């Protein structure tokens, strides 16, 4: 699990503009709450509910569109599970441990160097492909569900 320092408002704006994205206050809040969620991997709906308290006029479509833009820019990851998509921050290449019993998703730093190498080799060897983030998925049973 990666304990992350939640970046300041200014740092979030920097991340967005560096990725070539337009900066809106909703986008900043969305990225901020995803980074703060750490290993929780919330759904789009739960992010919508959190942000709606702050932006009462916010629509679900805006949240979905902003999430898609952040994923495309490589600032966050989308993990598709049988119960729908979940989102998380992507600091470094990592493994998503998905529990088949309770659906929890935990980030694990299992051999990040190997995953980084795979991403770099993809950039070097696959012509015309611009890799962003690499996260592997490992399904299994979490510790709590084995109890
Ligand atoms: Zn579990
Ligand atoms: Zn993850």
Ligand closest to 133 (CA) is 2
Ligand closest to 99 (CA) is 1
Please give the Cα distance from 31 to 14 (Å, whole number): 12
What is the per-residue pLDDT for 81? 86
What is the per-residue pLDDT for 91? 63
Q: What is the mean pLDDT of residues 66-90?
A: 89
What is the per-residue pLDDT for 1? 43
pLDDT in tens, 45-64: 999 999 999 999 999 999 99
> How confident is residue 23, by pLDDT bands cut at 50, 70 and 90?
very high
Which pTM value belongs to this model?
0.79
State in Å: Cα 29 to ligand 1 middle.
29
Concatenating the DSSP letter of every residue in the chain gives ----PPPPHHHHHHHHHHTTPPP-HHHHHHHHHHHHTGGG--BHHHHHHHHHHH-TT--HHHHHHHHHHHHHTTSEEEEEETTEEEEEE-SS-EEEEEETTT--EEEE-SSHHHHHHHHHHHHHHSTT------EEEEEE--HHHH-
Please give the Cα distance from 19 to 72 (Å, whole number): 10
State in Å: Cα 137 to ligand 1 middle.
15
State in Å: Cα 6 to ligand 2 middle.
16
> How confident is residue 5, by pLDDT bands cut at 50, 70 and 90?
low
What is the per-residue pLDDT for 2? 45
pLDDT in tens, 85-113: 999 887 678 899 999 999 999 888 888 88
Q: What is the mean pLDDT of residues 15-30?
A: 92
Ordered structural domains, the chain, with CATH: 9-146 (1.10.10.10)
Which residues touch 137 (CB under 8 Å, ≥6 apart)? 79, 95, 96, 98
Ligand closest to 76 (CA) is 2
Q: Taking the CA atoms of 19, 112, 119 and 137 in sequence, report the sign of the dihedral they define.
A: negative
Give residues whose Cβ lies within 5 Å of ion ligand 2: 88, 96, 107
What's the distance, Cα to Cα, between the start and end of the chain in Å?
Answer: 20
| Mean pLDDT across the chain | 88
Angle 17-5-116 from CA coordinates, rounded to 5°: 70
State in Å: Cα 67 to ligand 2 middle.
15
Residue percentage of the chain with pLDDT more than 70: 95
């Amino acid at each position: 699990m990666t304990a992350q320092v939640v970046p300041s408002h200014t740092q979030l704006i920097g991340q967005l503009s560096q990725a070539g994205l337009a900066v809106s206050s909703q986008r900043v809040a969305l990225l901020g709450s995803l980074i703060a969620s750490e290993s929780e991997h919330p759904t789009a709906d739960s992010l919508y509910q959190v942000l709606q308290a702050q932006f009462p006029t916010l629509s679900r479509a805006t949240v979905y569109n902003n999430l898609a833009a952040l994923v495309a820019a490589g600032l966050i990851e989308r993990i598709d599970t049988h119960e729908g998509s979940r989102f998380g921050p992507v600091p470094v290449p990592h493994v998503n441990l998905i529990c088949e019993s309770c659906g929890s998703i935990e980030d694990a730093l299992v051999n990040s160097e190997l995953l980084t190498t795979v991403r770099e080799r993809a950039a070097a060897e696959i012509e015309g492909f611009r890799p962003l983030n690499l996260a592997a998925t490992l399904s299994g049973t979490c510790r709590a569900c084995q109890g």
